[in-house]
Amino acid sequence: MASIKADIAIMGSGLCGLSAAITAAQAGAKVVLFEKQKSPGGSSNFFNGIFAVESRWQREKFIMYTRDEAFQAIMEYSHWKANTRLVRAIVDESATSIDWMEQQGVEISDVITNMPYAQHTYHYVKGHGAAVIKQLALRAKESGVDIHLGAPVIELIMDGGRIAGLIAEEDGEEVEVEANAVIIGSGGYANNKEWIKKYHGYDLGTNLIPYGNVDKMGDGIRLAWEAGAAAEGMNALELIAVGPVSDEFDMMNDLEVAASQPDLWVDPRGRRFCDEGICFYDTSGGNVNTRYSEGYTYRIIDDSIIHRLETYGVEKEGSMERKPGARLFDIRKIIDASMQHGSTEVFAGDSVEELAENMGIDPAVLKATIDEYNGFCAKRHDDLFAKKPIYLRALEGPRFYAVKAHTTMLGTKGGIRVNEKMEAVDKKDSPIKGLYAGGFDAAGIQTDSYPINAATGLSSAFAMNSGRIAARNAVEYIGRDG
């Protein structure tokens, strides 16, 4: 068995793991990092921006949202179920982390928001998360971090109740690592069918689709629990609603963007179920979808809506590239191909009744829904769900279309109970000596939903800040006790 001696061993190469690795290595620690996949970064490859308050970018743009306000807003959003000291620590650290990122060579292009009536906390990065991960991985190597890819951690080694190292697997061989501190940032359990069923009641892949998560089995969480850490927050998921979803569609294709606009949404039986104006807040769109155990709702569009999107463009942006006003040209092409392939994601009909039949729902119900909705549009008031009148636009045909929008998960939010130093703790908040956790593996920051309009970019910010905080404390710990 090969063996490695290090000061700090890190599990996971996402924002949390890499930030921790660089921070620790630059503070003089010998750091070894293990990543289960062949490519680094995990879900962090997908983020576009990162939350911070009182950053240099915000000062320059007179964005006056303060740390105190952000702390209060995040706590209110969680109804004070979040870990107060942890939230405070992350909020207070956030601006420093933006400077730190830039020092590591990450390029930030702007601070923005991508929804109405929300705080400008989203520090938009150049080249998406993938470019950030690449830069941080290169910087970690320059800083002397020993990175092992395709190397899952399979065991923590404990000695007298404190961390003594870990065992990883590389090229089919076990590698024993001697280290006095371990930082876990392995990205949650979004692909663990059993846990998702057990803790959340969903059938993964059927009524809950994971997005941007690969092979997340909760490895880090399980290892921390086995080492004595307490479980916390195994009820929180970051949800959105997206469709059509199938192997033949690009993500963020024009039809998907068209289906995400604030037009008419109906449940699996054909009844309207919400103010579609919530489309700007992805979390709300995901949460409202969870009422339906089928795992999807429908977005109804017609030729008049397609024409509007072709000529006047979108209202809800389609990823960051297609901002409000961007026109969509490929909607019909994608619908035609879907019809040809017999897709079960997209349906069409020359009348509302024919559409309903093709969807397999009661035509009378869908007809009544659309008649009622068109009535609200005519009188400019949504008696049911109070959608803003500017989004009330009647469906006139001649052809009607339905697109499935699936309940989709961006990540899991619970797992290891931690304190504000990112130490893994037991039920009574006593630290497991030498064990730290951050990112999607650590609980306490988002208790049931993602606080999207109070702190957009919080998941990536938590990953990076928790990684940096964990590393600082781990370096101090090994200096003192190790």
Partner 1 sequence: MPRVEINGNAYETEQGQSILDACLQNGIYVPHLCSHNELHPIGACRLCVVEIAGEDGLFPSCATLAEDGMEILTASEAVEETRKMAIELMLSGHQADCGTCIKYLNCELQSLKQYLIEDDLSVRRRSRLFPVTESNPIFSHEPNKCVLCGRCVRACRDLRGIGVLYYKHDHGEAYIGVGPDADEDISLAEAGCRFCGACAEVCPTGAVLDRDEFGQNKSRKEALLPCSNACPAEIDVPGYIRFIREGQISEAAALIRERVPFPLILGHICSHPCESSCRRGQIDKAMSICMLKRFAAENDAEQIWEGAIQKKAETGKRVAVIGAGPAGLSAGYYLTLMGHAVTVYEEMAEPGGMLRYGIPEYRLPLDVLRRELEDIMNLGVDIRTNARIESVEALLSEGYDAVLVAIGAHRGLKLKIPGSRGDGVLAAVEFLRSVRMGEAPDLGDRVMVLGGGSVAFDCARTAIRCGSQSVMVACLEPRSGMLATEEEINAAEQENVAIYPSRSFKRIIRDEGRVAGVELMDVKSFYYDEERKLNVETDDESSHVIDADMVIFAVGQLPDVPDDFGIELTDRGLVDADAMSFATGVEGVYAVADAVTGTDKAISAIAAGRKAALAIDKRLGGRGRLALKLASEVQYPARLGRRDGFAELARADVSRELPQDRVCDFRLVEHGFDAERAAYESGRCLQCDLRLKMKAEKFWSSY
Q: Assess 137 for contact with partner 1 (CB under 8 A).
A: yes
Query: What's the token pair of residue 215?
Result: 């092979």
Q: How many CB atoms lie within 10 A of CB 220?
A: 33
Of 102, 176, 330, 362, the one binding partner 1 (CB under 8 A) is 330
Report the nearest approach of partner 1 to the CB of residue 408 (Å). 9
Residues 333-392 touching partner 1, rule: CB under 8 A, are 333-334, 337, 340-341
Q: Could you give the 3-state DSSP secondary structure of residue 290?
A: coil
194 binding partner 1? (CB under 8 A): yes
205 binds partner 1 (CB under 8 A): yes
Closest by CA to 478, choosing from 28, 100, 143, is 28
413 with 236: CB under 8 angstroms?
yes
For position 126 contacting partner 1 by CB under 8 A, the verdict is yes
DSSP string, 317-376: -BTTTB-TT-----HHHHHHHHHHHT-SSEEEESSHHHHHHHHTS-HHHHHHHHHHHHHH
Residue closer to partner 1, measured from CB, 334 or 361? 334
Structural tokens at position 44: 């962090």
Would you state the structure tokens that stand for residue 119, as one six-digit string? 């705080």
- Quick one: which segment of 32-40, 412-420, 424-432, 460-468 binds partner 1 (CB under 8 A)? 32-40
Two tokens at 356? 């309903």
Contact region for partner 1 (CB under 8 A) — 98-106, 133-141, 280-288, 367-375?
133-141
Q: Tell me the CA distances in angstroms from 331 to 78, 107, 234, 298, 409, one per residue in order.
A: 38, 34, 39, 16, 25
Instruction: List the one residue from 76, 110, 250, 350 that touches partner 1 (CB under 8 A).
Output: 250
Map residues 163-192 to x or -, x wherever contact with partner 1 holds by CB under 8 A: ----------------------------xx
Cα 415 to Cα 218: distance, rounded to the nearest angstrom = 8
Q: Which of 27, 115, 164, 252 binds partner 1 (CB under 8 A)?
A: 252
Q: Which of 9, 89, 133, 279 binds partner 1 (CB under 8 A)?
A: 133
CB of 334 to partner 1, least distance (A): 7
- Minimum distance from CB of 245 to partner 1 (Å)? 6
Q: Does 131 bind partner 1 (CB under 8 A)?
A: yes
CB burial of residue 38 (10 Å; 0-12, 13-18, 19+): exposed
CA atoms within 13 A on the CB side of 156: 32
Nearer to partner 1, 97 or 191 (CB): 191
User: What is the C-alpha separation between 46 and 410, in angstroms, rounded?
Assistant: 10
Comparing CB distances to partner 1, the nearer of 216 and 272 is 216
Q: Residue 210 or residue 286: which is nearer to partner 1 going by CB?
A: 210
x-marked contacts with partner 1 along 310-329 as a string, rule CB under 8 A: -----------x--------
DSSP per position, 188-218: --TT-HHHIIIII---BTTTBEE-S--S---
Cβ-based nearer residue to partner 1, 215 or 350:
215
Fill in the per-residue mask, 41 to 70: x = in contact with partner 1 (CB under 8 A), - = not in contact: xx--xx------------------------
**Single residue of 118, 157, 167, 214 touching partner 1 by CB under 8 A:** 214
Kindly identify the residues of this chain, within the stretch 66-95, that bind partner 1 according to CB under 8 A: none
Q: Which of 62, 79, 117, 247 binds partner 1 (CB under 8 A)?
A: 247
CA end-to-end distance (rounded Å), the chain: 24
**Residue 402: which of 363, 358, 369, 364 has the closest Cα?**
358
Interacting residues with partner 1 (CB under 8 A): 37-42, 45-46, 126-127, 130-131, 133-134, 137, 147, 149-150, 191-194, 205, 209-212, 214-215, 217, 245-253, 321, 330, 333-334, 337, 340-341
